[in-house]
Amino acid sequence: MNYEKNKKYFDSNDKHFYVGVVILGIGAVLFALWFMRLSFLPMQAMFALVFAVVGAAVAFVPRSFRTSESELDGIIEAKTKNYAEETAENAGIEHMISRKIRPCTLGGYVFEGENVLVRRGKDDRRYRSSIYMATALIFTNDGIYAAQKTFSLTEEAESETDAEFFYEDLEKAYVSEEEIPVADGAKAKVNFVVLVSGGKEVLRAPAKPSYALTSLCDDINHEIAEIKRKK
């Protein structure tokens, strides 16, 4: 992972892109007028070419020195691929996995905390941050084994925690849709899968918005109800 290029993504903006597009547009207009024999400048075609080259350079060259949004997404996909399967193997609970709910990996950006860098994508308008959290949920007949891996995209920093929650101790699971302030009054919409025990949140897992999240919580709540019904 190229941390320096990733950091440049979060530290930069796209003002140069719009300036470059304007310059490129001027070059296109000059060329179109020259082509229609409406020249009003000496060597107008040459001027048009210069504007086009300079505009393209201003718009696109700076972007080549930083990681793109699609590259960031690819980094995260590589870092979290097979996380649930690896978690089950490392914990030695592969043989305990329930057939009712399959292991899954949730993931989302972390927008709160010190030194967190945030930027909104130019193309997809999604907010991204320099910190990402992946949560592996492994379901057994008795409960949930959860591991959370938090890593930085701009420096070599990674941490991991794990915990086990028994259905008989849990009260409910639900999806929390929240808006978190990021910068200049803007807010990022974030979904969390939340587990509650004893009236307190015992797990908050950021996750990409999906109808599957509600279905997952429904399955967990069903298991909680079943276990308590049998007691």
Q: What is the DSSP string of 85-146?
A: HHHHHHHT-GGGB-SSS--EEEEEEE--STT--EEE-TTT--EEESEEEEEEEEEBSSEEEE
The reply to whether 28 and 122 lie within a common domain is no
The reply to whether 158 and 146 lie within a common domain is yes
Residues in a beta bridge with 197: 200
Number of domains within the chain: 2
The reply to whether 78 and 53 lie within a common domain is no
Token pair, residue 6, equals 């990733």
pLDDT at 102 over 70: yes
The reply to whether 116 and 37 lie within a common domain is no
Tell me the mean pLDDT in the region 214-227: 94
Last residue in a domain, options 45, 65, 85: 65
Q: In which residue are the tokens 């939340």 written?
A: 194
pLDDT for 22 equals 81
Q: Alpha-carbon distance 122 to 98, whole Å? A: 42
pLDDT at 137 over 90: yes
Percent of the chain clearing pLDDT 70 (strictly above): 91
Tell me the mean pLDDT in the region 60-67: 67
Residue with the bigger pLDDT between 142 and 47: it is 142
Residue with the bigger pLDDT between 134 and 211: it is 134
Q: Which of 86, 18, 28 is nearest to 53 (CA)?
A: 28
* Cβ partners under 8 Å of residue 143, min gap 6: 164, 165, 166, 167, 168, 169, 170
pLDDT in tens, 155-192: 999 999 999 999 999 999 999 999 999 877 789 999 99
The reply to whether 46 and 74 lie within a common domain is no
The reply to whether 145 and 53 lie within a common domain is no
Q: Which of 72, 87, 106, 84 is nearest to 192 (CA)?
A: 106
pLDDT band at 61 (very low <50, low <70, confident <90, very high): low
pLDDT band at 65 (very low <50, low <70, confident <90, very high): low
Poorest-confidence range of 50-59, 63-72, 185-194?
Answer: 50-59
Residue with the bigger pLDDT between 113 and 102: it is 102
Instruction: Fill in the amino acid letter for 39.
Output: S
The reply to whether 140 and 191 lie within a common domain is yes
The reply to whether 21 and 99 lie within a common domain is no
pLDDT band at 16 (very low <50, low <70, confident <90, very high): low
The reply to whether 106 and 200 lie within a common domain is yes
pTM, whole model, 2 decimals?
A: 0.81
The reply to whether 103 and 214 lie within a common domain is yes
What percent helix, strand, coil does the chain show, rounded to 5? 40, 30, 25
pLDDT for 96 equals 93
The reply to whether 140 and 205 lie within a common domain is yes
The reply to whether 12 and 122 lie within a common domain is no
Residue 28's domain comprises 3-65
